[in-house]
Amino acid sequence: MRKSEERRAAELALVMLLGLFGVALGWALFSLASFTASLRATVAGHLPGTGLANPVTAVLLDFRAYDTLLEMAVLWLAVLGVRGLGAVPPGHAASPGAVLDLLPRLLVPVLVVVAGYLLWVGSMAPGGAFQAGSVLGAAGVLLLLAGSGLPHGWRGRRARLAMVAGLIVFIGTAWGTLLANGRMLAYPSGWTKALILFIETVATLSIGFILMALFLGGRPPGEEE
Amino acid sequence: MSGGVLFALAGIGLFVLGLHALILRTHPLRKVLGLNIMGSGAFLLLVAPAGMPPDPVPQAMVITGIVVAVSATALALVLTVRLRETDGER
């Protein structure tokens, strides 16, 4: 009884400390002179040179492309980490009822088309590789949950290749631009949009397969135990 | 109160809420969830000051951040499963 009272007091003290912490965070935030500072104008000024109309995609794959390259590497590292922890115990064996049997048949084709649309529209409106890859990954997870798995052509070795392809293409482009004009990921003028679309297409595939592999304990689809 | 300030306050609120769960809850799954809520708070805080049209730089950072957070969560969940296996019931 006494212990639980002590614990209750400690919890109350913690809540009050956290409240103070929140207030301090708020104060720190709003005492920043640059709370409303924005790189909007800088980005907008450089946007015409890229041939893209969506500033977010331009930031992701041109202005801060190195950042995005490293983030693809982080995704890959997470897969390696998950895989390195050994096989995860299998979840509940799927016993697809009528709904789980029918739903992927209806949804997966739509999701694949949506992913393609998001990828394509990324150059001019909200969308891009990360959004499209997430939708693709969700479609794959839905297939795996329903017990039907991926189509045979996309299992095993090919799935493994799809997982690294985004990083390989990104690093390849980085090397290519470094050798061509001495600046990493500085695309030759006129080629920006084409190169970005190429990188994004492969990255979409990679992100989709990496998310599926994370769901399966780091193994590419078709290799799970 | 402008929308940006409201979003920033909500972000701080989520961050503190997640920190509370991270410290107090003993179950690893709840700790992982708490970390995720902290992350969401940080993302909300990052995009909060955006006016119209929004600043694309934090948006780009947040969209990659979300996908990276998902993969980090997967890693944390597998670690949780392993911990449970080696430690017995928790």
What is the per-residue pLDDT across A203-224, written as a single tens digit (0 to 9) for each? 999 999 999 999 887 777 766 5
User: How many angstroms away from the CA of B63 is the closest CA of chain A?
Assistant: 7
- Give the pLDDT score at A72: 93
Q: How confident is the model at residue A184 (pLDDT cuts 50, 70, 90)?
A: confident
pLDDT over threshold 90, residue A113:
yes
Distance to chain B for A59, nearest Cα, Å: 6
Would an 8 Å CB–CB cutoff place A64 in contact with chain B? yes
In this complex, is the C-beta atom of A18 within 8 Å of any C-beta atom belonging to chain B? Answer: yes
With CA atoms as reference, the chain B residue closest to A16 would be: B20
Could you state, in order of their start, the residue ranges of all structural domains in chain B? 3-87
What's the longest Cα–Cα distance across chain A? 74
Nearest beta carbon to residue A21 from set B16, B64, B66 = B16
Buried-state track A110-139, b at ≥16 Cβ within 10 A, e below 16: ebbebbeebbbbbbeeebbbbbbbbbbbbb
If we measure between CA atoms, which residue out of A17, A14, A19 comes closest to residue B24? A14
pTM above 0.95, yes or no: no
Annotation: CATH topology of B3-87: Helix Hairpins (1.10.287)
* Minimum distance, in Å, between the CA of residue B90 and any CA atom of chain A: 17
